[in-house]
A and B are shown apart, each in its own frame.
Chain A
Amino acid sequence: MTQVVLFNVFNGLIVGAFYALMALGLSLILNLSGVINFAHGGFLALGAYLAFTLIPYIGFWGALVVAPLLTAALGLVIERLLIRPLYGGDPLYGLLLTFGLAYIFEDMTRFIWGAQSLPFQLPAWLTTSLSNEFFFVTGYRVFMIVIVVAAVGGLFAVLNYTRLGMRIRAGTRDLDTVSTLGVNVRVLRSLNFGIGIYMAGLAGVLAAGLLGLSPTIGASLIMPSFVAIIVGGLGSLLGTLLGGLLIGVASGLAAVYFPSATEAVIYVMMGLVLLIRPRGLLGEEGRLH
């Protein structure tokens, strides 16, 4: 039994890392721009579908690099045209706009690629187990962890060691002052949005290796991201990372003891956090109040 529990905890961390990747993109956008990007799942799906289309031409590794970039490019276009005019206004409108975009994304992916699930082909060496004893440690899951660690590491590096990152972090605290200091806030927000969408696209490519590729994968993955952010705390990227990992592990443990509750458990956690520590585990009091 302990073995099963350990396996599930470890596995939960892997899945949690994936949730964290998605949630981080969402959190970035939320923290700086105050926009709840309901279309995040749609961008994820787009990243997956673009990768699927590109694989025959540039292979899996090429697609892994290019697909998120293309998705981020589309994200930049959408930010410029549709979301930028909403900054500073009622958060309602950002929510509604991205909500509508989510509908459009799902419908357009179905229109372009068809309703049927598409067979996403991974390189063979990734799809096998690495050991007989720990059979659930497949090459692909290890690969996922590596990518997530690299992406998260890259993100934190950018945020902490580059000027752009410093501006983003400052902007999250006090955008007015940053603007007064001469930083082009519009461009900052655009780039921030782009980074967030890049993470969504990357998560999409990873998801396609694990799940069936169908137009609805975006919608099914967005809720855990929200919960990760609420649990981890608004305004804290580290919190989001932690939140994602926690809900992954919680789901894994629930699968051992109480399988029907594997999804409900993340909402229970959210409820507990809201009751006991409403700002989230690492959130700051007064954020986006």
Chain B
Amino acid sequence: MTEAALTEAALTRGEAALSGLRGRALDLAVGLALLFMPFWMGAIGGYTELASRIVVMGLAAMSLNFLLGFTGILSFGHAAYFGLGAYGAAMAIKYLDAGTIPAMALGMLVATLAAMVIGALIVRRRGVYFAMVTIAFGQVFYFLAFRWNSVTGGDDGLTGWHRLPIDFGFARLDIFGSDKAFYYFALAIFAVCIGAMAMLLASPFGRTLIAIRENERRARFLGVPIEFHIWLSFVISCLFVSVAGALYALLNNFTDPRALRFDLSGNLVIMAVLGGMRSFWGPLIGAAIFVALQDYVSSHTENWMSVIGLVFVLVVRFFPRGVLGMLRSGAKA
């Protein structure tokens, strides 16, 4: 009875994210666009690396949205786990001569452990206080990366290494030499991660998260262990964001403390909001717009920061439901 009630509550809010023909059509459109991005990217003034960047940031934003849009918890410090994933992978390659997949696994492990510990500490807070605490913890990791010079390279970042071609035994994927190869590698990882996220969201666990977002008190009265669910959602969200971070390090052949700073956290949140927090693909759309916009604008004016700031302000004031949110309500009306 509980589960049905929760699902009912979630669906009545218009959570048609993953069901229905329109949902399927959107999935197909996005899938095709992603599959062929390196090819159509060039035509509109982009380049393959930009496409890879969009995929990486899209994954990060969608991971954040697992917590933000679907569980309703505001984390403004996700860059910390993104960065931990990046540093974990980079250090594995630089110091342990690890292969690409083990390196990414290490990054994921480090970040997830951190998320488990910190999540436990902060899970009782909500709203503004939770946000502030995530910001502050994010800064702690920024500091660690910054000061622990000997290990992390400090402000200069971890350099002097690069991603290596992956040997599958029967085939060799040269993700270092070929930008396109790396893009498809990143896309594959992306697909696996968001597939997992989609499955989780469609499961009873996922439905519970949505119910918590909608009305935490009611969910508590229904007997749902709130703190545990929020903690788990936080950990899952950080896990996937760390994968994005590891990919980011591989993309750049470099990682530095900027990957941990609160501006990245803020950018991830705006990507989720810009695209539409309440929809599954929203953050990816938001990431695509934001990354492409930033790339384009910063090439044409040195006041690009104002433009980006303006985007934040405009989204909050006029598009709080994001691109997909607007499209959805537009179609309804």
Contacts and interface: CB of A to CB of B under 8 A. Distances in A.
Is there any pair of Cβ atoms, one from A and one from B, under 8 angstroms apart in the complex?
Answer: yes
Interface of A: 30, 34, 36, 38, 82, 85-86, 90-93, 95-97, 99-108, 111, 223, 226-227, 229-230, 234, 260-261, 263-264, 267, 270-271, 274-275, 278, 287-289
Contact of A227 (B136, B304, B320): B136
A234 B128 CA distance: 10
A103 B306 contact: yes
B140 A92 contact: no
A111 B303 contact: yes
Contacts of B136: 226-227, 230, 267, 270
11 contacts: A30-B128, A90-B74, A91-B131, A93-B316, A100-B308, A101-B312, A107-B303, A267-B140, A275-B121, A288-B126, A289-B129
Nearest to B274: A96
B126 A289 contact: yes
Given A82-B317, A274-B122, A96 B305 contact: no
Nearest to B127: A91
Interface of A is mostly: helix
Closest 10 CB pairs of A and B: A100-B312, A103-B309, A104-B309, A107-B305, A100-B309, A107-B306, A97-B316, A100-B313, A99-B266, A91-B128
Given A91-B74, A226-B132, A101 B126 contact: no
Contacts of A107: 303-306, 309
Contact of A289 (B125, B147, B309, B315): B125
B128 A103 contact: no
Interface in B111-144: 121-122, 124-129, 131-133, 135-137, 139-140, 143-144
Nearest to A219: B263
Nearest to B269: A96
A97 B320 CA distance: 11
Contacts of A101: 309, 312-313
B241 interface: no
B311 A100 contact: yes
Contact of B131 (A95, A105, A271): A95
B310 interface: yes
Contacts of A274: 121-122, 133
Contacts of B266: 38, 96, 99
A40 to B, nearest CB: 13
Nearest to A227: B136
Give the interface size bracket for B toward A.
35 or more
B74 A95 contact: yes
B82 interface: no
Contacts of A97: 312-313, 316-317
Contacts, number: 116
Interface of B: 68, 74, 76, 121-122, 124-129, 131-133, 135-137, 139-140, 143-144, 147, 266, 269-270, 273, 303-306, 308-313, 315-317, 320
Contacts of B127: 34, 91, 288-289
Given A92-B269, A274-B121, A289-B125, A230 B320 contact: no
Interface centre among B266, B309, B313, B315 (most CB of A within 10 A): B309
A267 B131 CA distance: 16
Contact of A104 (B147, B270, B306): B306
A215 B152 CA distance: 28
Contacts of B305: 103-104, 106-107
Nearest to B126: A289
A97 B310 CA distance: 9
A270 to B, nearest CB: 5
Nearest to A34: B128
Contacts of A38: 266
Contact of A96 (B121, B135, B147, B270): B270
Contacts of A230: 132-133, 136
A267 B143 contact: yes
A42 B159 CA distance: 33
A264 B139 CA distance: 9
Contacts of A229: 132
A287 B129 contact: yes
A93 B273 CA distance: 9
A95 B315 CA distance: 12
A263 B269 contact: no
Contacts of B310: 100, 104
A82 B74 contact: no
B325 to A, nearest CB: 13
Interface centre among A30, A99, A287 (most CB of B within 10 A): A99
B316 A108 contact: no
A93 B320 contact: yes
Contacts of A30: 128
A133 to B, nearest CB: 34
A143 to B, nearest CB: 31
Contacts of B135: 226
A91 B143 CA distance: 26
